[in-house]
């Protein structure tokens, strides 16, 4: 990993404030990623570790928007004004927040070593099953039972895949002489 300070010019050709270019390589895939930051390590208490955590944390934000588009219809809007667009965006994000909170609630309530993680899609499907059953097209018990059977199947598959991916990644890191259990975590601690 390397980083350097540089100055960008504005539209008038004058030098603006300092920026930082960070070049980091993934030790597993040898993929090189470049990031530009308007913060510089050592300036106002910003550390290089914090900049890297923010840069690599971008994936979770992109994942959030992808889920909102694919699962909750963020990209299915036909509006003619900003107010309508904002309403649609707020409604989609509120739905996403609801699904995420339900996912958290059920993950925390599951006893055992590894809770079976619900995905946002699974929460959305469960809500859809409930809504269809509430409209009376199928008996509520029948529809919810079908959905519950599907959910359990996918949870088992997800748990097996997570276990396999973790094992594979640890094996690949070990081949590079990296002890995965001794790596410091860059995720900030959250207080509840």
94-135: pLDDT as tens digits: 777 787 777 777 766 555 545 566 676 777 777 777 666 666
Can you give the pLDDT at residue 28? 75
Give me the half-sphere count of Cα atoms (radius 13 Å) on the Cβ side of residue 115: 12
Sequence-distant (6+) residues with CB within 8 A of 92 are 68, 72, 73, 74
Per-residue CA distances from 76 to 71, 82, 85 (Å): 11, 15, 11
d(CA 170, CA 148): 33
| Residue 49, pLDDT above cutoff 80 | yes
Q: What is the per-residue pLDDT for 84?
A: 79
* pTM of model > 0.75: no
Residue 20: name the closest of 8, 38, 33, 32 by CA: 38
> Across-strand partners of 34?
23
Instruction: Retrieve residue 1's tokens.
Output: 């990993």
* Closest to 147 (Cα-Cα) out of 125, 114, 177, 165: 125
Least trusted range by pLDDT, from 81-90, 136-145, 182-191 = 182-191
Residue 190 structure tokens:
């959250």
pLDDT tier, 176 (very low <50, low <70, confident <90, very high otherwise): confident
Residues 6+ apart with CB under 8 A from 150: 125
**What is the per-residue pLDDT for 164?**
92
């Amino acid at each position: 990993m390397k980083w350097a300070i540089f100055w960008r010019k504005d539209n008038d050709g004058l030098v603006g404030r300092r920026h930082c270019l960070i070049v980091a390589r993934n030790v597993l895939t040898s993929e090189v990623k470049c990031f530009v930051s308007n913060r510089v390590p050592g300036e106002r208490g910003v550390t290089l570790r914090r900049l890297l955590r923010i840069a690599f944390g971008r994936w979770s934000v992109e994942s959030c928007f992808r889920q909102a588009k694919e699962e909750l219809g963020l990209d299915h809007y036909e509006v003619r004004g900003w107010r309508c667009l904002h309403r649609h965006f707020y409604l989609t994000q509120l739905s996403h927040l609801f699904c995420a909170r339900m996912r958290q609630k059920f993950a925390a309530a599951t006893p055992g070593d590894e809770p079976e993680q619900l995905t946002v899609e699974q929460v959305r499907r469960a809500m859809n099953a409930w809504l269809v059953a509430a409209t009376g097209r199928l008996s509520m018990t029948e529809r919810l039972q079908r959905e519950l059977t599907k959910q359990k199947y996918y949870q088992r598959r997800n748990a097996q895949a997570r276990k396999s991916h973790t094992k594979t990644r640890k094996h690949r890191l070990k081949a590079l002489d990296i002890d995965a259990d001794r790596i410091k975590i860059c995720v900030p601690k959250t207080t509840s």
